[in-house]
Amino acid sequence: MNWIIESLPILWVVVGVLVLLVLNIKFKINGMLALLLAAITVGLLEGHPLASINKSIETGVGSTLGHLALIILFGAILGKLMVDSGAAQRVASTLLEKFGPKNVQWAILIIGLIFGLAMFYEVAFLILAPLVISIAIEAKIPFLKLGITMVAAATTAHSLFPPQPGPTALVAAFHADIGMVYIYGIIVAIPTVICSGILLPKILGNLDRPIPPLLESSKVFTEEEMPSFAVSLLVPLTPAIIIVLATIIKIYITPNGNLFTFLSFIGSAQISMLITVIISIFAFGIFRNKSMTEVMSSYTEAIEKVALVVFIIGAGGAFKQIIVDTGVGDYIAEMMKNSSVSPLIMAWFITVLLRLATGAGTVSAITAAGIVGPLIPTFNVNPALMVLATASGSNTLTHVNDAAFWLFKEYFGLSIKDTFKTWGLLELTNSVVGLAIVLLLSLIV
């Protein structure tokens, strides 16, 4: 009886997910409203006071959009300006010319890894999405085929390598050598992204979907109308350049100085994106002989078309917070605490369960690190491999409680079913292949 009572938080989460799916799929209720109703359902079933449910919703929406709202809006504006100026077409046509339609996936994979390593995943996604769609249009192939490649590469780099917040925190938690994390991480990342980004799209069948309205352009630009390839690529790379340079310089300066504070400011995702949007207004607008009124028209249209995405992601944050407040993560962690399984597998498995339950990759990884970290001396396992096993678990199959799930779904205009089929499978492939490579490495190092 006690086991059943203790398991109730997980049951209520399952009920909440089912309510969400029924409302969204069967009754066609908008994702934002369905998420909020599902969140309230979980809170009520768990027995939370109404005031606590309201507080969880406010906290979830605020914490999620506090981090993501400006990034999403700035990313959408940058993407729209690139599409409307011909910059996206320039990058697409140049990459196709250099790599050819048959090899363009490899170009996307490399760019996705670079962007995923250099910046927050959401920033990388929103910058690369218009480029991917433009390349797909030029190559006359389904945009989802390249979209899966791009996302697989970006999420892998984001989850495995410092200076991204998740792996950086894991390096500290496991006292791992950051250099070895990079070396082993490359060995893990290469087969992972090939499996999820190159091979998976080949076996998913028909991926042909309508072009998302935000990124649809009826205009075909002439050679003279388009910005140069260098400008078209360097401007969207500006956030990565700023963030990476700021991170490197901060390593060698005093943490309490004014320069460190300034670099932390401009090296944040929001400010680096703001700087990039200002540059893009001139590079893709004013310097291309467009009036400020024309540029602001693209600016406004981008915000209008992405506004609902922002609110859906915010509602997803509310659902996540309700789930976190039920204590389901603590229950899973306690359940696995006394297991005798290999710490590599245990770290991955606990992180997967926590990620599925809470939708928070970094939080699930750090929680798992706290559970299995003390086991490292007992099992004599390599700390760098523990970092990568846990990081692979944080990059696993996610569902409706994950903001990244809704970003992928809404930005690409997919159904929940198609999102599970694409986003869900590529993340699951990433996670399982990543663990498999880590386990093979553990036999050698």
The one-letter code for the residue type at 108 is: I
Cβ neighbours, 10 Å, residue 320: 25
Q: Return the amino acid letter for 361.
A: G
Q: Could you tell me the two tokens for 365?
A: 């990884």
pLDDT at 23: 84
Among 269, 239, 234, smallest CA distance to 82 is for 234
**DSSP letters spanning 100-111:** -TTTHHHHHHHH
User: Reduced to 3 states, what is the DSSP secondary structure of residue 341?
Assistant: coil
Amino acid at site 420: F
pLDDT values of the chain reduced to their tens digit, one per residue, 445 residues: 555 555 677 788 778 878 877 887 778 787 788 889 988 998 999 888 999 999 999 998 888 788 778 877 887 788 788 878 888 778 778 877 888 877 888 888 888 887 777 566 776 787 788 878 888 887 888 889 999 999 999 899 888 887 666 787 778 778 888 778 888 988 999 999 999 999 999 988 888 888 776 566 556 688 888 899 899 888 887 887 887 788 789 888 888 889 999 998 998 878 888 999 999 999 999 998 899 999 999 889 888 877 877 787 788 778 778 877 877 656 665 665 566 677 888 889 888 887 877 666 766 776 677 667 666 666 678 898 999 999 999 888 787 777 788 888 888 888 888 898 899 899 999 999 999 999 999 998 7
Q: Which of 70, 137, 75 is nearest to 280 (CA)?
A: 75
Query: What is the structure's pLDDT at 148?
Result: 93
- Please report the DSSP string for 128-151 in residue order: HHHHHHHHHHHHTS-HHHHHHHHH
Q: CA geometry: angle at 188 spanning 352 and 344, to 5°?
A: 45
Q: Which residue has the tokens 């009036």?
A: 291
Q: Using a cut of 0.75, tell me whether the model's pTM lies above it.
A: no
Pick from 375, 387, 383: which is nearest to 341 by CA? 375
| 25-to-21, 30, 34, 310 alpha-carbon distances in Å | 6, 9, 10, 20
d(CA 122, CA 252): 28
Quote the CA–CA distance of 429 and 423 in Å, as a whole number: 10
Residues 6 or more apart in contact with residue 54 via CB below 8 angstroms: none
- The token duo for 308 is 């609902």
Give the pLDDT of residue 171: 80
10 Å CB burial of residue 291 (0-12, 13-18, 19+) is exposed
Tokens of 174: 């496991």
